[in-house]
Structure 1
Amino acid sequence: MRRVPGRPFEPEEYVLETNTILFRVFSTGGMVPRTVTDFNPGKGDRTRFAFFGDPTVPVLYAAESEEAAVCESILHDVPSGPGAVLYESFADRVCAPLAPTRDLSLVSLMGDGLFKLGTQARYVTGTMASQYTRTVRWAEAVHEAGFDGLVWMSNRRNTDRAFVFFGDRVEAGDLVALPGTGRIFAAGAGFDWLADYLTSLKIEILIP
């Protein structure tokens, strides 16, 4: 089984259709708060599929449900089973919907897409963070092949797809925020929704 991309690189394409509703959890804190369609230009720790390139390729992660977006962000490093998260770890975060305004051409890292590439989820989308130096090579290969990003089944919620888009391929206007308010997790209805979801997973919120 391949742990890094092979040559020739012949992936399975997944077309994310125009107007497909996605969700993103993002931070509104810091010196320059982000909006739901702002790409990460390369700040912060390495992630599964970022960062790479010179200049650095910006990325934006999203998911097909609010729950998956939470699992891929707030709960990304929280072990499965009974546990806890710190309130401060999500106090400046918001979950909001967005959608593509054109069809996006992605590489599938799920199902037959993994089989075609001669690998398995455990070597690419299901690894520990210590393997990110290796897994980012899959994103590099996808980018080199001319695609807009990747899609895979969320490792933490494997009923839903997760996505990463490349900021030098998905241009301004290719993703738009959708009308309506997002969930602000710091307080109010957004906090209540998140608390209920975490309770269903037996995860406690620790408030100082």
Structure 2
Amino acid sequence: MNAVGAPPQPFDADTNPLTADQRLYRVHNNTRTVGEFNPGFGSRTRFAFFGRPAVPVLYAADTEEAALAESLLHDIPVGGGILPYAAYANKVMGKIEVTRNLKLANLRGLGLRRLGVEARHVTDTEADEYPRTVLWAEVAHAAGLDGLAWTSRKCNDTRAVVLFGDRCSNALRQDSSFGRIFQSGPGLDWLIETCGPLHVDVLPPAPR
């Protein structure tokens, strides 16, 4: 077990910028818009939730595949498995455009070394460490940063980010040129085709 240590104080993090006009992909519930932050619903995640009231967060990634890996495929073993219809029926993928420059704590590459840790101590941990990894988000927020950036654990050639809603809610807008509805049609076709080589069987809806 790789114990997660407390974040350093002061939190002298290197920054990984998100620049205006950059696009990010997000898988989210179809009851939310693509740029809507989670105000604190659901179970704890790697970097949420913290604060009273809870600081809203939004997870996204640089590519469609990483957004999928960090959401619908997050809990499926690397050897493969089944993605049931109920897991994706109410999920969609959208694209977000960043409208102003944002500063994220850099938890990638030498950014980790600067903070005296390795990925296995913060960004590459199991879910039982989330009560400790969330402290890193809380400290980054207290340091005035807009979120955190790290190498996706589930798609480790791509950046994943978490953004803080009280800092970034006015810095995002929907890119209406892109969208996937996984329930049926081309979105479901893409999901099946993408998951097939990963040994993940996407179960279709039951026939009526």
| TM-score by shorter chain over 0.5 | yes
Instruction: Map 1:1-208; keep pairs closer than 5 Å.
Output: 3-28=5-30, 33-172=31-170, 174-207=171-204, 208=206
Q: CA deviation at 1:4?
A: 2.0
* Distance change >3 Å, CA 2–CA 115, structure 1 → 2: farther
Q: CA deviation at 1:81?
A: 1.5
Structure 1 distance, partners of 2:178, 2:110, is 37
Summarize deviations over 1:27-61 as a string: whole Å, max 9, x none. 01xxxx10000000000000000000011100000
Say which SS state the counterpart of residue 163 (structure 2) adopts.
strand
The two structures, once aligned, show a CA RMSD in angstroms of 1.2
Residue identity opposite 1:20 in structure 2: Q
Q: CA deviation at 1:171?
A: 2.8
Residue identity opposite 1:204 in structure 2: D
Summarize deviations over 1:62-100 as a string: whole Å, max 9, x none. 000011000010011111022111111011111111111
Does the aligned pair in 2 maintain the 1:2–1:119 contact within 8 Å?
no
Q: CA deviation at 1:206?
A: 2.8
Residue identity opposite 1:161 in structure 2: R
Q: Which moved more, 1:129-138 or 1:79-88?
A: 79-88
Does the aligned pair in 2 maintain the 1:87–1:205 contact within 8 Å?
yes
Residue identity opposite 2:158 in structure 1: D
When normalised by structure 2's length, the TM-score is 0.94
Q: CA deviation at 1:3?
A: 2.0
When normalised by structure 1's length, the TM-score is 0.94
Structure 1 distance, partners of 2:87, 2:28, is 12
Aligned length: 203
Say which SS state the counterpart of residue 180 (structure 1) adopts.
strand
Say which SS state the counterpart of residue 154 (structure 2) adopts.
coil
Q: CA deviation at 1:2?
A: 6.3
Does the aligned pair in 2 maintain the 1:83–1:204 contact within 8 Å?
yes
Structure 1's unaligned 5+ residue stretches are none
Does the aligned pair in 2 maintain the 1:2–1:118 contact within 8 Å?
no
Structure 2 distance, partners of 1:84, 1:171, is 35
